[in-house]
Structure 1
Amino acid sequence: MDQLVVYKQSQVKELVNNFLQEFEIQEKEHITIHTDNKTLAFYIECHIKAKDICNKGTIDVPLDPENQSDYRANREVVENNPAYLKMLQDAEEKRIFSNIVAEYNPDFEPDKPLKIIGGQHRFLAIERALKKEINEFHGFKLYFDLSMEQRLDVQLISNTNIAVSSDLLDRMFETVKGPELRDWCQKCGILEASQDFADKKQRGSQISVRGARTLIVNYVNGKRIKDIEFNIIRTTPAISGTGGVDEEWEIIRQTPKLWTDKKMIEMGKAYAELVASQKKYFSVKENFEFSEKALSYSVLASWAFVAGVLHKNSERLKRHYDLSNRTSGDPLNSSVLAKGRHKTDPENYRGLGTRTDVKDRGRLTELFFLQAEKGTGINKKMVDLAIEKYHAKEANLRVQEMEKKL
């Protein structure tokens, strides 16, 4: 047997013995250490007394406690969910919960060695019932000595029976890769200091991992296009994938000196100013939807793409970045965008920046490129022209592609 495996087994046995001395469980005399054949993670199955669960357990669990201890992998607790409210009632009626997934890890926050990975709502229900002196045994799958990769795997499999958002999965995967994307967003002001990405894209939330990836991917892709060729080639930005591995992002994030690129940092800061200006203007307005316009995937993708195209054109790039100070306080002139439409649009089309399809992204890219040329801010004539330019360009490119096939 591999010496490393033997060593780890010895470490796990020691941890299990420490756990048995510290916790009251039903299976104390008949405990079996199991191995997950897929990841070689070690675990036991047992029932732990509620008092021990609450006094020595925590749901405040980092995915990477050694290097990123301030950032969490788990979801926000949904306190008004009907299923959770029913769970609280069940616990007070002495229901025994099972399938709670946890790790025994006394190295990080030793007074709370029981780290709840899956089952945070059940933990809270048990905690509340304990205050009414309901002290039952509850079922656990308890892991020992997990590596970060094993911990991520446990996080994922423990959440397969609930509606986990793709944004949370993205955040977990990015955390495993390292803190670079989050650190970059904090440095640029896209995220506040110590703030993590949103675990679910919704109104009022900060940027998601998908949004941050999309911003950088399109800036990098835009840099590959010469601004003098913009009007004769296809210039449609992309939106990064979600809920799994995005191969394009994986390649880009490993680019040497990516995170220290001064021009990309400048781009990030300019985008943060655009988001802040947009939100500030609508903070006292009724139309909350417009305050989120800069965080729309189609808007941020197109804006970043144009920033990349113009990265060597300092004069036009400045006009592009100065958009946050234009249009009488509403940088994106949201009411004008909402009225922008083409004769081919369906009746329910609500204007630029409301969809994420290729057409919307292409139109917005034309608009931002035009605005950088004029530097006067977004207006109705510019929106109408950008829409026509997009459709004319697409028609011309289709003709060229058809001619090549003859």
Structure 2
Amino acid sequence: MLDCILNKDGTYLTLDDGKTKTRFHAIWLRDNAWDAATRSADNGQRLIALGDIPAETSVSAATLVGDTLRVTFAPEDKSVDYALSWLLENAYDRPANTQAGWTKPSVETWDNDLMSHLPVASFDAVSSDPAALQRWLGQIARYGFAKLTNGPIEELALMRVVKLFGYVRETNYGRHFEVRTEVNPTNLAYTGLGLQAHTDNPYRDPVPTVQVLYCLESSAAGGENMVVDGFRVAERLRAENEEWFNVLARYCANFEYAGSDDVILQSRRPMIELAPDGELIGVRFNNRSTAAITDVPFDEMATYYAAYRRMGEIIDDPAMEVSFRLEPGECFLVDNRRVLHARKGYSGAGKRWFQGCYADMDSLNSKLAVLETEHLAAAE
């Protein structure tokens, strides 16, 4: 049986089910009220500022009625109902993650074992079936990448892929870019050389968080695509040498691109990026675009380079890679904050033509959340 207990001054309450005690501060509860005077019924945005809530807010009464907790606040003498499911879903009274580099339960890191169950969907299915689109976007959110097959073999078909979830992010390369062999290329991506696994555009701030690569022609030998989970790389580095993990997370690297007229792009970010509470939120690794590293103290530079070298060795380890060949009408998407991608070298015989573009994870996550909400509503 669930009990609700107030502390003596009402500054917080405790929900106790006999096994777990979960506390909520009065000011947090009041700030997260969903009554009509506090939140817009149309969009859920707050109608008041924190300064409109008395600083001395406390709970004067709390009553459990079925699956609802009714709370009365002083000094406003205002009563608000909370769904117990919402409270427990948003509870913050829980053990903190103590190790730097933790990831959310919704994130699944991987190595080449994922080859046996690649995240993949059919273009026709995701274009016509919201449930199929939800599953595919969910794979991208969980694994950081996914393939799409049986798409149209036509120029700019990748725009139809992005339209499934969001919007193209235009850069100095344009709304899209061509990937095929060129004479005197401005970027090594346009040659037949193999490329080390990397995240794209680390010299931008912020980086494009989604990259789409769409195959239109692929008769040249070689050129298989590879992806590597940067989060698993970081986890492996931390397990091998925590000091190396920490030094790459503590200090910024410099990234730069100046390969075409009127463009000099620069950023200063760590190769392993953590949130203030230690959550692993990003990896930036691109040997072609790393500029002189100048923010590491002299006494730690040797350690930094040892860590940088080892990170590259882990990335290059075949046990970390998932590889696949894209045929015309196929594409893949990567979360560019997390998943590194690469390409094996290909010969000059035959043709190889890809088109690429950038988008962002916020629109992808938004579309996924909408589809999940609609699915839950339909199931009720």
Q: TM-score, normalised by structure 1?
A: 0.23
Higher RCO, 1 vs 2 (CA within 8 Å, ≥6 residues apart):
2
Larger Rg: 1
| Larger strand fraction of residues | 2
